[in-house]
Amino acid sequence: MTTTQYEYVPGLAGVPATRSAISDIDGQRGILKYRGYAIQELVQGSNFTETAWLVIEGNLPTKAEFAKFDHDLRQRRSISFRIRDILMSLPATGHPMEALQAGVAAFGMFYPKNIRDTQLNYESGVRLIAKLPTIVAANHRIRNGDDPVMPRDDLDHAANFLYMLTGKELDPLVAKIFDVCLILHAEHTINASTFSAMVTASTLADPYTVISSAIGTLSGPLHGGANERVLETLREIGSVKNVRPYIEEKIRNKEVVMGMGHREYKTMDPRATILKDLCKQLFGKLGSTPLYDIAEEVEKVMAEAVGAKGVWPNVDFYSGIVYDKMGIPVDLFTPVFAIARVAGWVAHWREQIADNRILRPTQIYVGEPDRKYVPMEQRG
């Protein structure tokens, strides 16, 4: 019987699980940085490919490094016909996140892996970043009765995904905004899916298994699935005039308003601020939508009611509206999240194995102290 005393912290809130140099959050001031660079600066000057390199390698790439990384990503977008066969064998009713997890898990059987080999680790990271969009787009088309669209190496990362998804090149502004969305979702410290990746990585599992475990964690409605539920909420509200009574009832019943509040931020999520501006640009180009008007009213009413308590829009609140306007189906919102966040997962995988110790937390036992076994015939 142990006599050690531990403090139980539900959800491990505020408990440091690692030392990391990848990203940092100042929740009180609403600041997010990747490798010391403010997210606002990266959105203004960078692109997803460069940001992925930064997150993984630790510094902005030189021209030569960027050219090689960009070339390697473009050349590794295709997936094996056997992976396509796996996708074709899956039920059309399955969620795209389940298909994505299955496809990524299968990667480990197709490609060499040795976590002590630096070059193989680089190639594994490139494959994962390059091929996740292809799996998502191919599965979407297959489950809707269409043939997959082959990737094009003349398009950048964001534009190529939208092309594979729709079979046509979209407006350059749409592709640019989607690229910004990928940057905003690329990394966010030790969230649930990243922690899952770290735990799996700490066992020295291969990188495809590591990313598959992260995808499984991201699929939960309290993590990546939140932006799907935001859009459902906005559609349920239906009109601007319904917002106030809807929110007041939610607050009265102590129910969560999806897309509002974040464990880390006590002010508005900086990514939500950027996404809100992207909404204006997108709708200015493609036409307005009632969902945006409803969202703005929700933000206003929530600010009046609970803003003083630090409950503000998070990244999920506006991302779903942006994706919906782009024509991306609701059930692809979370897979799109994964397409971006794989950069952060790869970075944390590499950081974990560079100075590894298996993650093995303890527990506080609350069960019966001492019990004696009673034979079946004596139990009545």
Q: Residues near 211 by Cβ (< 8 Å), separated by ≥ 6?
A: 104, 128, 197, 342, 345, 346, 349
Q: Closest Cα to residue 106, out of 116, 98, 94, 115?
A: 98
**Cβ(192)–Cβ(219) below 8 Å:** no
Residue 197 and residue 124: Cα distance in Å, rounded? 15
- Check 179, 269, 316, 324 and give the catalytic one: 316
Q: Closest Cα to residue 273, out of 235, 307, 318?
A: 318
Phi-psi region of 43 (alpha: psi -120 to 50; beta: other; left: phi over 0): alpha
- Check 140, 188, 262, 348 and give the catalytic one: 262
Q: Closest Cα to residue 290, out of 237, 246, 334?
A: 237
262 belongs to the catalytic site: yes
Can you say how many angstroms the Cα of residue 242 is from the centroid of all Cα atoms in its chain? 31
Listing DSSP states for 5-17 in one string gives -----GGGTT---
Q: Would you call 372 helix, strand, or coil by DSSP? A: coil
Phi, psi of 366 (to 5 degrees): -125, 15
**Cβ(156)–Cβ(176) below 8 Å:** no
Q: Would you call 265 helix, strand, or coil by DSSP? A: coil
Catalytic (active-site) positions: 262, 316
